[in-house]
Chain A
Amino acid sequence: MSAQPQFSVNVYQNEYLSEGAAEVNAIVSVQSAAAYGGAPNTRAAQVIMVDCSGSMDYPPTKMSAARRATEAAIDAIRDGVPFAVVAGTHVARMVFPGTEYLVPADASSRAAAKAAVSRLTAGGGTAMGQWLALADRLFTGHDQAIRHAILLTDGKDEHEEPSDLAAALSRCEGRFTCDCRGIGTDWVVAELRRVSTALLGTVDIVADPTRLATDFQQIIEHAMGKAVGDVRLRLWAPQGAQIKFVKQVAPQIVDLSARRAPGPNPLTGDYPTGAWGAESRDYQVCVQVRPGSVGDEMLAGRVSLVSVDGAGQATTLGQGLVKATWSDDIAQTGRIDRTVADYTGQTELADAIREGLEARKNGDLDTATARLGRAVKLAAESGNDETALLLSKVVDVEDPATGTVRLKSRVSDADEMTLDTRSTRTARVGKNRNNG
């Protein structure tokens, strides 16, 4: 039995509700302290998917950057970890090895893989569903390993139907995690986000091709640090309760509500969280319970992190309780939990950006101005400087305090796509502020 990382779960909420209130909101903060030295003993498997469509040669720096980045990624794979490189066009083709299986990383396999990558050329279309299907086949037989993939693309998924991609994603869900990168500005943020969300990975724009190698190397290092795969957030809620939503809110916002799978009993549901290394993630849980009378107390939710092994055996890694207590003391019911409030604000910020950019794209400039203005105000209030900076490249800010903005007449695609992809990144909330 490999060393399981230590998970600590903390719940932040104001458990006091006024009479008749029924909505319980809580932030569940999960920290896993993976034992150092534990991760290298963990079995992993890695697939790298590189877009080799014809557009990768316009400009040719994209293809050369992709080759260099893939080589850097290969170097970062830990000794002994089985891996493969896939070239993606309107079909999926093995780059290394030549046939459909994974080769353990060592000096000679790395050299052979890099040699194959250096010969990659651009030509063909884009059908990401095909690439993902091949990755899924490659991972077959590696059920005990933490399976991770990288997908790099520069364009739109235009050589298959959207339903083909959706079907591929639903087959791959829960089979492996996938971090997605878009290079250039011809790819579609929403499309790549659909892939990364389904496969519990990250999505980002690499506007500058020279940064791609560092990025790939970091992705692999992060993946190699994972110590436990297939961790699920297991939520119990009382009979008659309604789960309004379950969202990861840090390090980035991912709505998991629709990902609920049946748990061990009808009152329990499992939400996938993928693999964990030494890291922290925060989740927001909103449960509508049957309203109580003053003095009543209720367990509104039990949040556990469970790891499920290849045989389906679940191990509880950590647990937190979400409570509701009805009170007529305004000092109790009126208290605002800063952690819940901050993440609620950051979620609204992400929504405002997404809606604002969407309206701008559709030519609804009034809505775009209003929503992006709201985003500027929220970013200023929450001290989210990174997002504020990205917003300032899309709108001219007249007064951040009131959210008064004017849409810039000329916005570079890269700036707009950067704001879009990074809008779901959240600033970690300092929990100790609750005590202030």
Chain B
Amino acid sequence: MNKDVDVTESEQPEPAAAGLDETLAETVESPTAEPGPAWPSCPSCGAEVAPEDGYCEECGADLLVRRSEPVAPTGGPCRTADCAGESFTDGYCDVCGTPEPDPRDHYERDLGAVAGVTDRGLRHSRNEDDMAFAVIGATGEAPTVVAVVCDGVSTSYKPETASATAVHTAREHLVLALRRGEDPQSATLGAFEQAHKAVVALPSDPTDAANGRASTMVSVVASEHGITVGWVGDARVYWLDQNPEDSLVLTLDDSWAGRMIADGTLTEEEAFKSPLAHTILRWLGPGAPEEPANLRVFLPEGPGLVLACSDGLWNYLPAAADLARVAAGGFGGLLPAASALTAVALEGGGHDNITAVLAPWPTRHPEPAGGEPTGEISSLSEGIQS
């Protein structure tokens, strides 16, 4: 860890020639570089607002919170390349029989201070993962970033509904609790309680009442005070250090393999060979063990990225350092970095749904001038390739 501190401190002041370091330097500088009016108008009603306003005087919108949008309810025309079908019956295209496109098959969200990708993968007929995040705080100060990732338990009833309900319930609880001034740890525990209740409240399988809905969940609250992580199940949160070798996983899987590794019974290699490896020991939903969520507070010693992801990603790339290297481009643009991580899992076979949500630490607002993501993406794509 000492070495970690040395490296960070020595590299930060002088922008190096390498692409990665250059973009990092820009990122750190940008919030103070251009102080101009960040919120000239209310994003909800368009009324003129002052930078210091917490709420819009016209419509009452919360000017200090920006949320990732949930997916659209329907998915547009048929996804088969040579099919002109636009109508669907029983969930299938009326022309070619392909399942109706589900907007959750693949969607991306980018709030500047946090961005994520979720993807169905190649072997599952449905994306049972979901994600939601928010950025809280006025320009000119380091924002608080909230991110939630859920992985519906495949064997449960309609797992995609459990994950969608859980991410949105948890994200809302975190946003409101933090806006009330609650500390991140109690806000996180509250978010898991509320998400659990919301999943329990969903109707169970009409043909098998014992088959309730279930999801795993991880949450991240990142602010200038550090990173607060909550989890239940085997989705993970990683710290991806600017120096990849100093990256680490912040969660401990609530799975059979996680338990065996944690108590020293088996090595990581041995544990993951077992067919039981991915058996979940904790989840949200009916029948879940009633304990508070796992909690960890982490204060990085230098800049880096927080990654919240489902096992569809880390199964292909479990080592934190490897994830850090793939995400390296994310120091300049988060969404392409999240896409790069997703691509690794897809190229590896895409056996499960994949979700990757990234936020830089220290947290930052997007550059006011760079609000259009296109410029960011093009510059970053070059960065990844180089």
Q: Contacts A299-B90, A302-B90, A321-B90 hold; do A239 and B95 have CB atoms under 8 A apart?
A: yes
Q: Which residue of A lies closest to B99 (CB)?
A: A297
CB–CB A299/B125 < 8 A: no
Which A residues from 223 to 245 make CB contacts under 8 A with B? Answer: 237-241
Which residues on the B side are within 8 Å of A325 (C-beta)?
A: 125
- Give the docked Cα–Cα distance between A302 and B90 (Å): 9
Q: Quick check: A295 and B96 within 8 Å, CB to CB?
A: no
Evaluate whether A298 and B95 lie within 8 angstroms (CB atoms) in the complex, with A239-B83, A321-B90, A325-B125 already known: no
**Least Cβ distance of A325 to chain B in Å?**
7
Given the interface contacts A239-B83, A321-B90, does A298 sit within 8 Å of B97 by beta carbon?
Answer: yes
A289 to chain B, nearest CB (A): 7
**Which B residues touch A289, using CB under 8 A?**
97
CB neighbours (8 Å) of B93 from chain A are 238, 299
| CB atoms of B125 and A295 under 8 A apart | yes
Q: Complex formed: what's the CA distance from A298 to B94 in Å?
A: 11
Residue B98, interface by CB 8 Å: yes
- Tell me if B122 is interfacial: C-beta within 8 Å of chain A: yes
Query: In the complex, which residues of chain B have a beta carbon less than 8 angstroms from the beta carbon of A22?
Result: none
| Residues of chain A lying within 8 A (CB to CB) of residue B296 | none
Interface check A429, CB cutoff 8 A:
no
A267 at the interface (CB under 8 A from B): yes
The minimal Cβ–Cβ distance linking A291 to chain B, given in whole angstroms, is 13
Contacts of A294 in B (CB 8 A): 122-123
Is A300 on the interface with B (CB-CB < 8 A)? yes
Q: Give complex CA distance A176, B123 in Å.
A: 51
Contacts of A237 in B (CB 8 A): 97
What's the Cα separation between A294 and B92 when bound, in Å? 18
Contacts A302-B90, A321-B90 hold; do A267 and B125 have CB atoms under 8 A apart?
no
Please tell me if the beta carbons of B123 and A295 are within 8 angstroms of each other in the complex. Answer: yes
Contact of A298 among B98, B122, B123 (CB under 8 A): B98
* Chain A contacts for B225, CB-based, 8 A: none
Residue-wise, chain A 230-270 has the 8 Å CB interface mask toward B (1 for contact) of: 00000001111100000000000000000000000001000
Contacts of B122 in A (CB 8 A): 294-295
Tell me if B125 and A238 are in contact (CB < 8 A). no
Contact B123 A238 (CB under 8 A): no
Q: How far is the CB of A296 from chain B (nearest CB, A)?
A: 8
| CA gap between A241 and B92 in the complex, in Å | 15
Q: With A295-B123, A295-B125, A302-B90 given, is the CB distance from A238 to B99 under 8 Å? A: no
Closest B residue to A292 by CB, please name it: B98
In the bound assembly, the distance between CA atoms of A238 and B96 in angstroms comes to 4
Known A239-B83, A321-B90; judge A297-B125 contact (CB<8 A).
yes
User: Considering only CB atoms and an 8 Å cut-off, how many residues of chain B contact the other chain?
Assistant: 15
Decide if B179 is an interface residue (CB 8 Å cutoff). no
What is the CA–CA distance of A432 and B90 in the complex, to the nearest angstrom?
Answer: 26
Name A241's closest neighbour in chain B (CB-CB).
Answer: B97
Q: 0/1 per residue, B105-126, Cβ < 8 Å to A?
A: 0000000000000000011110
B124 surroundings in chain A (CB, below 8 A): 295
A323–B90 Cα distance when bound, in Å, is 12
Q: What distance in Å separates the Cβ of B118 from its nearest Cβ neighbour in chain A?
A: 17
Could you tell me the distance between the alpha carbons of A298 and B100 in the complex, rounded to whole angstroms?
10
Residue-wise, chain A 170-202 has the 8 Å CB interface mask toward B (1 for contact) of 000000000000000000000000000000000
Q: Complex: how many Å from CA A299 to CA B124?
A: 16
- Asked whether, in the complex, the Cβ of A238 is within 8 Å of the Cβ of B90, the reply is no
Give the shortest distance, in Å, between B121 (CB) and chain A (any CB).
8
Contacts of B94 in A (CB 8 A): 267
A104 to chain B, nearest CB (A): 44
Distance of A200 from chain B, by nearest CB (Å): 28
CA A302 to CA B94, docked complex, whole Å: 10
Q: Return chain B residues, CB-CB under 8 Å to A241.
A: 97
Chain A residues contacting B92 (CB-CB under 8 Å) are 298-299, 321
A260 to chain B, nearest CB (A): 19
> How far, in Å, is B263 (CB) from chain A's closest CB?
33
Residues of A near B97 (CB, < 8 A) are: 237-238, 241, 289, 298-300
Interface digits, B177-189 against A, CB 8 Å rule (1 contact, 0 not)? 0000000000000
Can you list 19 A-B contacts with CB-CB less than 8 angstroms, sorted by A residue number?
A: A238-B97, A239-B83, A239-B96, A240-B96, A241-B97, A267-B94, A267-B95, A294-B123, A295-B122, A296-B98, A298-B96, A298-B97, A299-B90, A299-B92, A299-B93, A299-B99, A302-B90, A321-B90, A321-B92
Closest 6 CB pairs of A and B: A238-B97, A299-B92, A299-B97, A298-B97, A295-B123, A238-B96
- Extra 13 A-B pairs, beta carbons < 8 Å, given A238-B93, A239-B95, A298-B96: A237-B97, A238-B95, A239-B83, A295-B122, A295-B124, A297-B99, A298-B92, A299-B92, A299-B93, A300-B97, A321-B90, A321-B92, A325-B125
